[in-house]
Each structure stands twice: as C-alpha cells, then as structure tokens.
Chains A and B, each alone.
Chain A
Amino acid sequence: MATHVVTMIPGEGTGPEICEAVRMVIDASGVDIQWEYADIGLDCLEKYGTLLPEQTIQSIAKNKVALKGPTTTPIGTGHKSANVTLRKVFDLYANVRPVRLIPALKRPWDKLDIINFRENTEDSYAAIEHMVSDEVAQCLKVITWPGSYRIADFALKWARDNGRKKVYCVHKANIMKMTDGLFLEAFREAAKKYPDIETGDIIVDNCAMQLVRNPGQFDCLVLPNLYGDILTDLCAGLMGGLGFAPGANVGDNCAIFEAVHGSAPKYAGMKKINPSAVLISGIMMLRWLGEKAAADRIEKAMYQVLDEGKTVTYDVGGTAKTDEYAQAIIDKMRAETK
C-alpha cells in the first residue's frame, strides 16, 4: 500500500500533458504516491451533466489532498465555476501563493520572496448579489470574525513553521470600517499568539504601489479575498508571469494544490507549455504531506535545469517540450543521487 493516495485532476486543455510531466517528476523523486485520477471541466458536462462530477468530490473527500491541472470556466453560460465550488465545498479558506525570483526570468528586482495568504471563502465572493431595481445591482461583502481570525492564524503559523519573520495584514479599514475593520481586528488578535513574528498592516492601495516600487520589503501578506485576488496576480507579474506561479488552497483537513494559470487550450497536445507552476504546486504538496526531502530534491533539480537554460521551454528562451523539461529535471535528480 502506498504511503500517500493523492487525487490527480489533470484538468483541461494543456492540463493533462502538464500533469503527466509533473507526475513523472514526483514519482522519480522517490516518494511513494498512488495517484487516483479524477475528472473536472467542460468534458464532464456532456458525460455527467456537471463541470464537477460527484466522483471527483468523493475522491477528494476520501484522500484529503489533490493535485489539479488548469481548467476553463465558461463565461456567461450560467455554470458555476468548478474551482470556486471545490473551494466552497471543502472550505479551503487559505489560498497560499508564494512568489520568488526565478533567475531565468531576469527580473529587475534585487529581492522578491513573498508568500501571499488570500482568504478564499468570504468578502464579495460570497455569491450574494441582487438586482435591487432595474438599474441598480448590489453585492454583499461578507467578512466574519472566525473567517478572518483563522486565515490570520493560519498565515502566522505558516510563517513561523517556515522561518519567515514578518506578516502584514492588507486592508482598507480607513474606508470600510466595519468589514475591513473586523478583518484587521481579527488579525491583530491572532498576532498576539505570535510575539516572535513581526506584524503590522498596510492599506491596500499603498501596498500595490509599494509592491511595484520595492517588492523586497515584503515577507508575508494576509489579504481578504478581493484584494488577494488582485495583488497575487500583481505579484505573479513581478515574478515574470504565471508560468512559475504555484498555488495551494488549504482547509483544516483538506488541500488542493494547483497552478494559477489557465488551461491554454490553443496549445493543447503540443507539449509546449512550461509545467513549472504545477510542479512547484506539487512541491508545496509534498511539503504539506511531510515529504520534505523529496520536495527539496525536486526543487533543487528544477532550479539547476532552469539556471543551465539548455532544456527549458519556449517561455524562458528554450525549445524543450514539456516532457523533455520534466525528463531533464529527473536526470538531474538521478545524477545527484549517484
């Protein structure tokens, strides 16, 4: 029996070829994982009548951990996003999105190493919207004490466990005194448990400007859902794009690891896409599973391949296919263990 059973959701478009490459690398790291494959997305509509089949939900409920490729959310068709549904159903309240400098991307910053903790379930994403007259729409922004406290507590603990020094709360409490005020108050309360971590707060618009001017000043940020959605993409832009932007959606007892980027359907089957974002998400998953040695091994090999620049994908100036890049990482790992 394998040490871990993980639900693998390859997703759509380029998702299956990316996930296959990532599976190859993770399996070669020596970690003992049994992969349980599950479906999601538009193909499921025809087969099951839903973007998110019940079998997929049951598999994640059983295994408590999933690695997911990108999916496409149809716009304006009335179908609920499968991604949002997954976060809601499993109450995956912490969206963890680290960004750091990738030498191959040649960015102008001296330092960029930020972990963003985006609250994933509340704010104006609570799906409470009404047309209150024929020319007025409203959306309720819902912020709760327990929802705010737990993301702050989660972020502060993650920071402590991973040797981070500074956690800042991002808000607009000067204007939204009730909602963002509650978010900030809960953060300050949670911070009392972590006197060894430097804590503080910053207003979201100033944070956006400071991130662009001097991203090296930030360590960890805790954000309500909407600001988190925007600023985490801003941070991905600072890093050089979504090709290396991993993500984790974590709850108390379940976690889904996935890249931030979309499914790029026009490249499907061409094995052209850089799988690094899903691979780094996989590395985060291994650490979450307690497989630190395997995670470190893959990470080191990946950065070696990227630094050499010989077998890399087109987005970082190479000509390698998705699986060739994965094989180069595997070869590096094997060379290290000889």
Chain B
Amino acid sequence: MPDGASNLSIVLIGLNHETAPVEIRERLTFGGDRELPFTLIRGILFVREFIFLSTCNRVEVLMTTPDPANAEMEIKKVFTESNGIPLGDFERCLYIYHEEEAAKHLFRVAASLDSMVLGEPQILGQIKDAYRQATDQKTSGVILNRLLHKTFSVAKRVRTETGICSHAVSISFAAVELARKIFADLKGKRAMLIGAGEMAELASEHLISNGVAEIVVANRTLERAIDLAQKFKGRAVSLDEVYDQLSKVDIIISSTGAPGLVINYDNVKSVMRARKNRPLFLIDIAVPRDIDPRTNEIDNVYLYDIDDLKGIVELNKAERQKEALRAERIVEEEVIKFKHWLQALDITPIIVCLREKAEQIRLKECRKTLSNMGSLTPEQEKAVHVLTASIVNKMLHDPITYLKGKSSREHKDIYLDFARQIFNLNGESGDIEEE
C-alpha cells in the first residue's frame, strides 16, 4: 500500500510463547548486551526505522523498510548468527506481518490480547520501554512514532472500554478481590497465614499491597513461620495459638498439610461473639481441607476453599474471553484509522486536502462578507469571488510546489506529516499527542 506513500513498508517480524519453544526464546539474549541488537539492526542497509521488543514471552522487531524481503533476510541473519541458532529452527518459530497486519499485531500485543494470560497489564509497560529505548537510540521516525502513539491509545481504549483487565485470573488475586467485597477497605485489617505455602505467600503479598495492617504467620515449624513473618514484617505464632488469634484477625489463609481439620465449626462459632460479629473471611487452599466447610453457615463468616476460588478464576477467564471479543473490535477500528493516516502520507491527497480546506474557508468568508454588504450586482459579486480565489491560489502556490518537489525524496513522509500538521489537515492528526 504505501508504495504511493513513501515506498516504505511496515514489517513486524517476531516470535512469541506460542510459536517458539522456550529453548529458542531463552537463547535470544544477544549475550545480555542491550546495545548489541540496536547496533546490529542499525547496520542493516534496508532498515529505516525500527523498534526492538524483547520480553520473556516474545521477541519482536518492528521496522519500516523500502525492501521487505531483504530486510527480513538480514534480520533473521542478525538473530541467528549472534545467538547461535540454526536458521531453519529460527524460521519455524517466526511470524511476519506487513503493513496494517503489522499494526494490528502490535495493537493486539499492547492490548494484551496476544498474551499468555489474557489482559495482563505488564506488556504495555514493556512496549513503552522498548519505544523509549528506540527514541533514545533515535531509531524511531515519523511512521513508527505515529504507530506507537496510536498503539498506546488503543491499549488505553481497550482497558477503559472493556473489562478485559478487570477480573482476577489467579487464585491469590481472586481471594483479594473477594476480601475487598467483604471489607470496604483492607487498611487496618489483620490477616493470618496458617501454614506457609507458596500460594499463601503470594496472597499475602497482594494483601500487603492492598494495605493490610499486619500479617500473623502460624506454622508447624516455628522457624519457617518466623522467616515468613520477617518477610512481611509480621508476627510468628505457633499452631497452638491459632484459636487465640481467631478473635483478632479478619482474614485467614490456611494451607497446611495437616490430615485433619485445623479450624472446626465450634472454634469459629464461639469467637463470633467476642468478635462482635465482625466479618471473618476464611480462605482454605489446603487439600485435604483445613477448615470445616460448615463454618460458611455462620453469620458474617465467609469460607472459600480452593475449588471455590478455582471456580471464580474459571468464570473470570471466560469473562475476559468475552471482553476480548469487544477488544478485537476496537483494534479493528483503530487499524482502519491508522491505515487512513498511512495512505494520507501520499502527496496527492495532501494537496487535494489543502486546496479543499482553503476553498472552504474562502467560500465561508465570502458568504459572510457578501451577506453583510447588501445589494451587489452579479458582476460585483463575481469580482469578489475572483479576487479571493486568486489570493488563495497565490498563497498556496509555493507550499504546493515545495511539497511536489519533495515527492521523490526518500524522507518525504517527514515533509508530508509536517505539512499536515502545519495546515491542520485532518482531525486524526490531533490525537497523536495523546500520550
């Protein structure tokens, strides 16, 4: 498409967690040198602008090039040679997108539609970092700047207009989300971990970041409890003290390997009076279960076991899938807008646009003035039109000649984009400054 525009193509070449096994992904490190890929890609004759994105789940190069076939070949060479991967293996993992397909892929990645966990938020930050790096290295130009800014606004739109990020899809997050529906605010609340498993640890991290005041850790081996308590600046207690704590804490996450119940119905029932019925949120992620399922029947006690939480996570995943469909629609829309912008980088539409705008202004002003002037003869009226038209034409003559003169230049896209901005030729160009 952009043969008319700048004879430059947009190409995205890359691999991700679905197309490439980890054995390949982990080798694409360029020996840990962050500068090296930039130096190498900059050295490729066929690459004009480029951005290099590397995360643990994907490695991608986005570029503009006058010669896609050769540029792709050279990129593959750079990756395989400096990372010691056979070309055949590497090629099998690759996807290559051109033009609006490349833009679409980038939009999808940024909106986290291409992530392992749908809707996870980190990828957008990673793309922003990659872009910052590219601007530092001055490898990004008019087209990629525009594309990346568009990408950020697409990601933002998807985030605010769809619920793709709003449902917890991990057990520990789901637990915290529930806690926030029971307690208004986790600030000032106290949580107790019984047993010190990995999931309990993860959940406590989320609890802490949501403002929980104190974490009490009870464990069979006190040593491990103390370790963990130190990590969260909390307190360690022995398993025997769990009952005393029942009246003091608000959230309990239990994950012991005990064969029987650690907390039974009567334990909880009897503390509710002392608690003045303050709500108690029990999370039992142990198998076999630690907490008597009947405790859920007590007023103001809410018990969730591992299956309940898994159920929520499954529901939320389905919910995100549904939201993803809406997100895809937004992406499609934005791809079309971007395509229009790209096409508009051609010389003819800009000149047409400029003339149209000038003519519109001229007609509007003439109409205003003529209606104020009262009765003019048709000849006089015509004279006014001729006069204004010739002023407009003379004014536009030089800019248009200038633009036409640049049309064969290699970097004409810069002039064209600039012309658009100076004359404010499309509503679209306004949103480039969004981010």
Report if A and B associate in a common complex: no
- Which chain A residues have a beta carbon within 8 Å of chain B's beta carbons? none
- Which chain B residues have a beta carbon within 8 Å of chain A's beta carbons? none
